[in-house]
Structure 1
Amino acid sequence: MASFSIKKRTLKSGESRFTVDIVVKKNSAIIHRESKTFRKKELARTYANKRVLELENPDESGQKSVPLCVLLDKFMEEPDLWDKTGRTKQYVIKLLRDCDISKVESDKLRTSDLIQHCKNRKGGGAGGATVYHDVAYLRSVMKKAKPVFNIAANFQIFDEAVPVLIDMGLIGKSQKRTRRPTSEELKRLKLGLEQRESFRPNGKTRIPFTDILEFSILTCMRIGEVCKLRWEDLNQEHKTILVRDRKDPRKKEGNHMIVPLLGESFEIALKQPNKGELIFPYNSRSVSAGFQRVRNELGVEDLRYHDLRREGASRLFEKGYSIEEVAQVTGHRNLNILWQVYTQLFPHKLHRKKQ
């Protein structure tokens, strides 16, 4: 049975707000809860009556419930959603499609279902941060169920479930990485990558791994950004380049940014053959895969290509650049994230700080 209550609160400005609390009970236990705030009490009451009717008579709202596997399939089949979904999120959604939780009805998902899923994943060796992605991305898909597919989905259950999952230690945030390559490791990596450059089986394209490695460090760019740089965006007079669609959690497209090419990065770019639109016309996955193979062959442990971005940012700080100046290179809008996540200073190198 669904019911609602309306609570009034007064803002500091003196204005009133009316919050509708709607609950659905079954056998005296709350199985669903949601709330929404309005400026006028009449609007709040109208909305509440409509939602109670929808919850008690779901067929009348035109919405239906489906197994989560069906909802996940629909999400993957919708180009306007799937094509704008990042690689990691796509991987997780495909994984969820094959998990037991995908058999649960979209409007009947409960905290106990999520607890069991997280336990299954942890039992399979997944860490708390990895399992957290499962929960976050499933919630993201379910929030789009009603507006996009007209499917009833109980995504509000995550408000109740997430704190419980955290308390149980089933999900958690990833630990801050502090890994930077040592000078000796970089020397060995460059030597190994030079050898790989000279080895081109079956006439495959020669990838200038060492140039790309050094360029990545000097510019603090992600490998995906490096491999999309265009000759037309290179300003030789100012020694800058336009980085298109730079990653930003608030805006995934159109986030263009002019970046200075510091150190030898400008010269590295100029020495690349100008035979097409791109300065580094290579598949970013092939570049990172080559790096990983050399790293593994050399026995360099726990070093990721993305750690080179941290290496570059840390070097700039050690040279005396301000956090605002470094952000112009890395593209960070949030300076706290830049300082906390992308820096790991070597204290002895502070002696080299520019005066």
Structure 2
Amino acid sequence: MASYSIQKRDKADGTSKYRCLIRVKKKGIVLYTEQRTFTKRLPAEAWGKERIVEIEKDGFEQDETVLPTLGEIIDKTLADQNIDSTIGRSKRFCIRLLGDCDIAKVRIDKLKPQDVIEHCQSRKESGTGPATINIDVSVIRWLLKIAKSNFSYEVSQRAVIDAYDALYNQNLIAKSARRSRRPTAVEIEKLKVGLQERSSQRMAHIPYVDLLDFSILSCMRVGEVCRIRWDDVDEAQKAVIVRDRKDPRKKAGNHMLVPLLGGAWEILQKQPRNDARIFPFNERSVAAGFQRVRNELGIDDLRYHDLRREGASRLFEKGYSIDEVAQVTGHRNINTLWQVYTELFPKRLHDKDI
């Protein structure tokens, strides 16, 4: 069945473009795509309706020898349930953003390093930082891999690989800066007061303070906290199984038995058992509530994920070793924890008699 959609793209100069995307799908599989960009919405809609009528009447022809554009690969990727189910929220957002960029119009076999560099320059001009642009480049390379492995197109990643040196030298891309932010005791107390007030005012009662304390003490990500289940609780060991824990080398099936220390067990036990999940709340709602209260309090540069670092830091300060902390945080690579440890105790060697 043929359909069209209009996607608006705001440019850096304040003007807008409207991309009309034609797609023919059968049982969820994209068979044909076509697109055209306009400066006004009405002409884009008129062209879309006209092409739909033509395709329904005359069908469509696609030259198999002509490879698709990067945008068409994006459409095929998101339409493939086997691939789409493995894509995280942040990556999906980046993929869709790329679909609205000029680089999406380039055929995958015609992609050059210059195209990649120009895309990054355009993103920089719009105010995007080097670490975020670096994600764009990684996703472009990933899409080229998918085009070859899943859709059997003969295409190389060479354009991206050859662009890297110039991208780094021109400061267009950079690795993400390692964060060291920890909330102060005063900030945590202010957050608890603000979160308690928000919790009591909302119809859907979310125990924000319990979630805050549990996130710190368990060193879990907010998504992990909101996924743990009562039937995964190990009463004997005062632990809980965290399923599909994030791991760059293993996307699924990474289950870990995590000990609940320092009061986390008591917080878990006092939760009502009226749902299969211990904290049956949408992780986005929890994070959004935290962010709103944080902003109202004027607390700068503090993210929910920083609570995980706070928890790890507290365990080190209590005397736990790196491998013991890793059992709680789930880090497979202890280099990250080693950095946390050395930042906490930079002068530890001075205490030793060398």
1:30-72 superposed Cα distances (whole Å, 9 cap, x missing partner) = xxxxxxxxxxxxxxxxxxxxxxxxxxxxxxxx76411111111
Shift of 1:347: 7.7
2:76 corresponds to 1:74: yes
Q: Is the 8 A contact 1:227 1:279 kept in 2?
A: yes
Give 1:276's aligned amino acid.
D
Aligned to 1:183: 185
Structure 1 residues 40-59: aligned runs within 5 Å: none
Select the residue among 151, 170, 173 that pairs with 1:171: 173
Equivalent residue number for residue 216 of structure 1: 215
Q: 1:155 to 1:198 in 2, by over 3 A?
A: same
Q: Who is 1:141 aligned against?
A: 143
Distance 2:290 2:172 in 1: 33
CA–CA distance in structure 1, aligned partners of residues 342 and 231 of structure 2: 31
Residue 113 of structure 1: CA displacement?
0.6
Superposed displacement of residue 151, structure 1:
2.5
1:217: Cα distance to partner?
0.1
Q: 1:75, CA displacement in angstroms?
A: 0.7
Aligned to 1:279: 278
Runs of 4+ off more than 4 Å: 341-344
CA 1:306–1:63: 2 relative to 1, 3 Å: farther
Per-residue CA distance 1:142-179 (angstroms, 9 max, x = gap): 11102211234332222211122111111010111111
Aligned pairs, how many?
Answer: 285
Alignment of 1:1-355 (within 5 A): 64-200=66-202, 204-340=203-339, 344-345=343-344
Mapped partners of 1:238, 1:341: distance in 2: 27
With over 3 angstroms needed to count, the CA separation of the structure-2 counterparts of 1:142 and 1:237, relative to structure 1, is same
What is the CA-CA distance between 1:259 and the residue it aligns to? 0.4
| Partners of 1:298 and 1:235 in 2: CA distance | 38
Alignment partners' CA distance in 1, 2:290 and 2:135:
26
Q: Distance in 2 between matches of 1:138 and 1:263?
A: 44
- Tell me if structure 2 keeps the 8 A contact 1:180–1:307: yes
8 Å contact from structure 2 (residues 316, 341) kept in 1: no
Secondary structure in 2 aligned to 1:198?
helix
Residue identity opposite 1:142 in structure 2: L
* 2:199–2:205 CA contact under 8 A, matched in 1: yes
After superposition, the Cα gap between the structure-2 partners of 1:188 and 1:223, relative to the gap in structure 1 and judged at 3 Å, is: same
Deviations 1:112-131 (A, max 9, x none): 11111000000011111000
Shift in Å at residue 337 of structure 1? 2.1
Q: Name the residue aligned to 1:46.
A: none
The letter of the residue matching 1:171 is: I
Residue identity opposite 2:219 in structure 1: C
Shift of 1:340: 2.4
Question: For the pair shown, which has the larger CA radius of gyration, 1 or 2?
Answer: 1
* Range that drifts further, 228-237 or 188-197: 228-237
Which amino acid letter does the alignment assign opposite residue 129 of structure 2? G
State whether residues 63 and 146 of structure 1, in contact with CA within 8 Å, keep that contact through their aligned partners in structure 2.
no
Which segment is superposed worse, 337-346 or 326-335? 337-346
Kindly state the Cα deviation for residue 134 of structure 1 after the two structures are TM-superposed. 0.3
Residues 285-313 of structure 1: CA deviation (Å, up to 9, x unaligned): 00000000000000000000000000000
Asked if structure 2 preserves the Cα contact closer than 8 Å seen for 1:63 and 1:151, the reply is no
**Contact between 1:310 and 1:343, CA under 8 Å: does it hold in 2?**
no
Q: Distance in 2 between matches of 1:343 and 1:239?
A: 29
